[in-house]
Amino acid sequence: MSIKSGKTHLPHKSRHRTHSFQKSLTAPTLTLLTIGGVMGSGLFMASGLAIRLAGPAILLFFAVAALAMYLEISALAEMSVASPTPGSFLNYTHTVLGPGWTFVAGWIFWFSSVLTMSSEVTAASLFSRLWFPGISLWVWSLAYSVFIIAVNFVSVRGFGTVENIMAGIKTVAVLAFLAVGILAVTHVLPSTPSFVAPQGLASLTRHGGWLPEGWLHASPALLLVLFAYAGTGVIGLAAAETKNPTPTIAKAVRWTVFLIVVMYLGSITLILNLVPWNHMSSSVSPFVLAIRATRLPYAGLIMNFVLLFAVLSTMNAALYSNVRVLYGLSHAHQAPKVLGRLNAKGIPANAIWMSAGLLALTIILAYALPQKAYAYLVTATGFQAMFIWFMVLLTQLYYRPYLQKHHPSRLTYKLWGFPYTTYFVILVVFVGLIASPLAKGEAIGAMVGFSGIIVAWIVWMALRRQIIAADE
């Protein structure tokens, strides 16, 4: 694998494009947009499944994954600051790894984002059924899908406003959860006696120790935890629509990592203190279970409502991401040209409709397998999301030397510890992928995620001559 010389191969302009992206995103907006893309059902729903697998040792998993997330988003930011163009890391992949890797990574990024939307809308539907158990899961999935698609047809500034509101609500809600949880654990607030132990953190081990069922049983939880940190690609995808990309992206990375780490590790620690690990449910959020333990009036219902906004926010950010990936693929001659056209508002409308079409399959899954839809989707999504992390890191391994050789002045933001930190994250990702099929119920989702990657390579092999010819 060699570094290709020359310019980035994803063109910024095309005779098919008559409009341009709006450069209106600021550091606070980009921070909330990234938090919106990261903090979703992986934390609010899948964390319960992960806790059931690993027990209190899940704290170690979340700490390791937090470090991996920080390094991955820094690697992406390094490239995005140096070359803030539409298409995110796919531009850099094309430059240093060639069109084959770009094709596979781009389409898997898109498919992974659609799966993320699917898992989030399924989680939103599960939250809604807590209030209206008689309404079918697919009905909620359809309603929320229509809403999110409509939001993405507003202007970029309007989209950013809506996403800021939803991401802001869940950020404030999690911080409020931390405050209430601390008061409950310290017995300032009343709580369910059987849930909160008087020993504080020592209570974490009272149901079988830190690792109640062993490492082999716990290891599949790593993929679920990594999935909770996925969604960082928004940073790179929004670079072309950001004011002053270099300082804006750098600030957004710092703020995003700080807030995510505090909220994630704090929340999981409090949940384990408020609810025993073996009381977790596959249909009720661990946040709802934990807030119920405080015995505050209507607290569970209020938290459930906030979590609904939270997962819709992540779904919204996922749609924002995947349609811009389709835009980049189109301009790289790796997707139909029609997907690379912007409307008068600077929005890739055709790409939105294509993503909406695949999202419709989620509604069918929710109709056919209402009890298993989320578990299958979250594993498949996590598998492909980690493949995207791998591609970001692999690209950065080659793009750093490329920049040092051709554009050293652009390296104003650097991932520390390169290349060892990059290798570390790749190792964590591979451990998560290899361990995921070991858990009951996760093998099918892992097979779907792996099959998507194989299919993408097969399609590339069939179309590579036409794509390479168009690219020259």
pLDDT above 70 (res 351): yes
> Tens of pLDDT along 184-230?
888 777 655 444 444 455 567 676 678 888 888 888 899 999 989 98
pLDDT above 80 (res 18): no
What does the pLDDT read at residue 58? 93
The pLDDT > 90 percentage for the chain reads 18
What does the pLDDT read at residue 264? 94
User: Which tokens go with 416?
Assistant: 């520390």
Average pLDDT over residues 168-190: 83
pLDDT above 80 (res 394): yes
What does the pLDDT read at residue 159? 61
Instruction: Decide if 208 contacts 50 (C-beta within 8 A).
Output: no
pLDDT above 60 (res 418): yes
Residues 6 or more apart whose CB falls under 8 angstroms from that of 403 comprise 82, 410, 411
Instruction: Decide if 355 contacts 117 (C-beta within 8 A).
Output: yes
Backbone angles phi, psi at 324, to 5 degrees: -80, -25
Distance of CA 92 to the CA centre of its chain: 20
Cα separation, 74 vs 250, whole angstroms: 9
pLDDT above 80 (res 405): yes
What does the pLDDT read at residue 38? 84
User: Which tokens go with 297?
Assistant: 């009036």
Backbone angles phi, psi at 189, to 5 degrees: -100, 150
What does the pLDDT read at residue 196? 47
What does the pLDDT read at residue 417? 94
What does the pLDDT read at residue 318? 78
Q: Which residue has the higher pLDDT, 147 or 167?
A: 147
What does the pLDDT read at residue 9? 44
Written as one letter, the residue type at 66 is A
Average pLDDT over residues 25-44: 79
Q: Give all strands (DSSP E) within 312-470, no chain letters.
A: none
Average pLDDT over residues 33-60: 86
> Tens of pLDDT along 423-435?
999 999 999 999 8
Instruction: Decide if 57 contacts 211 (C-beta within 8 A).
Output: yes
Question: DSSP labels for 134-182?
Answer: TS-HHHHHHHHHHHHHHHTTS-HHHHHHHHHHHHHHHHHHHHHHHHHHH
Per-residue pLDDT band for 280 (boundaries 50, 70, 90) equals confident
Per-residue pLDDT band for 6 (boundaries 50, 70, 90) equals very low
Homologous superfamily (CATH) of 27-471 is Amino acid/polyamine transporter I (1.20.1740.10)
What does the pLDDT read at residue 29? 76
Per-residue pLDDT band for 239 (boundaries 50, 70, 90) equals low
Which range (53-57, 163-167, 281-285) has the least confidence?
A: 163-167
Q: Which residue has the higher pLDDT, 67 or 230?
A: 67
Q: What is the mean pLDDT of the chain?
A: 80
**Residue spans per domain, the chain:** 27-471
Average pLDDT over residues 124-128: 85
What does the pLDDT read at residue 86? 60
Distances, alpha carbon 303 to alpha carbons 118, 141, 163, 167, 194, in Å:
22, 20, 19, 15, 21
Cα separation, 393 vs 73, whole angstroms: 10
Cα separation, 330 vs 328, whole angstroms: 5
Q: Which residue has the higher pLDDT, 463 or 27?
A: 463
Per-residue pLDDT band for 157 (boundaries 50, 70, 90) equals low
Average pLDDT over residues 322-326: 79
Q: Which residue has the higher pLDDT, 204 or 271?
A: 271
Cα-only R_g, the chain: 21
Backbone angles phi, psi at 242, to 5 degrees: -115, 135
What does the pLDDT read at residue 197? 45
User: Which tokens go with 356?
Assistant: 């909406």
What does the pLDDT read at residue 75? 93
pLDDT above 90 (res 458): yes
Please tell me the pTM assigned to this model.
Answer: 0.81
